[in-house]
Amino acid sequence: MIEVEDVYFTYPNGIEALKGISLTIKNGEFVAIMGQNGAGKTTLVKHFNGLLKPTKGKVSIDGVETTKVSVATLARKVGFVFQNPDHQLFSETVEDEIAFALKNFGFKETVIKKRVSWALNLLGLTKYRKTSPFMLSGGERKRVALASVLAWDPKILILDEPTIGQDYQQKEKLRQFILQLKAQRKTIIIVTHDVEFVAECNPRVILMREGKIVADGEASKILTTPEVLNQAFIVPPQIAQIFFQLSDLGFPRNIIDIYEAREILLKAIRRKTM
């Protein structure tokens, strides 16, 4: 679905943000891109919908090179929810915001009404249908931005820091929703600092540092290898830290799922009490 071949990108001010990035993201994959501020994460994903074009190298989306098509054409396949929702909200009501792209893409009015209602219900925004997005909280505005993208059903969904401003319940709803999309073979990419959220989702993890990829693999391996995490200045999830300490007692080290951790500890307690 996404092919990045030896991509370099330099901003007009001379900052080299990407330095020889190459990667492949397959159709239906769920990928988390992580790293410190300035690592190049957002710069990289903005190449996936054509907002940025490579200074050198090539990016292809679903077999089409991004330099050969418009951002508007790519937007039909690639939905992008920005870290700051205010960068993409402008309509007078939540309902109008969600309908805007559907109208631009030429959907019929009956379809627009159905998809707007579906998105409002999905993200728990129905009661705000006639409310200005700018009257909502930061977390609610982020959900409006997400609803406005999901409404047109893109093949690829990019979420930049989706958990910022969301409480635990909303994070869990987001996790369940991402897993539903994954089951539908959507390609999902999140840019995030939230290592605990990534641990609970267990996606493929790409670690970046200073415009380069320093690690790429399963979350259960990447997030339980301190020497790898140190390259991107990322702290392991809390469950992993606990099992690092317990490994001397014979417990496995590569545990990041709280439910798996619970089962392992319960089995150990049962053995101890028998």
Averaged pLDDT in 10-residue chunks for the chain of 274 residues: 97 96 96 95 96 96 94 91 87 94 92 94 92 91 91 93 85 87 92 94 95 95 91 91 88 87 88 76
Residue 114 CA to residue 101 CA, distance in Å, equals 14
Q: Which two tokens stand for residue 156?
A: 């690829």
Report residue 207 as tokens: 């670690």
Q: What is the pLDDT of residue 113?
A: 94
Query: What's at 218, amino acid-wise?
Result: E
Q: What pLDDT does residue 274 have?
A: 65
Pair type for strands 204-209 and 212-218 = antiparallel
8 Å CB contact between 102 and 111: yes
Where exactly does CATH 3.40.50.300 map onto the chain?
1-69+183-236
Which residues touch 228 (CB under 8 Å, ≥6 apart)?
A: 207, 214, 215, 222
Q: What's at 84, amino acid-wise?
A: N
Q: How far apart are CA 136 and CA 118, in angstroms?
A: 20
Q: What's residue 258's pLDDT? A: 85
Strands 187-191 and 156-160: parallel
**pTM of the entire structure?**
0.90
Q: Give the angle subtended at the CA of 241 by the CAs of 235 and 242, to the nearest 5°.
A: 160
pLDDT at 186: 92
Cβ(180)–Cβ(67) below 8 Å: no
Q: What is the structure's pLDDT at 169?
A: 85
Cβ atoms 160, 81 nearer than 8 A: yes
Specify the fold of 1-69+183-236: Rossmann fold (3.40.50)
**Which pLDDT score is estimated for 44?**
98
Q: What is the rounded CA–CA span in Å between residue 191 and residue 206? A: 10
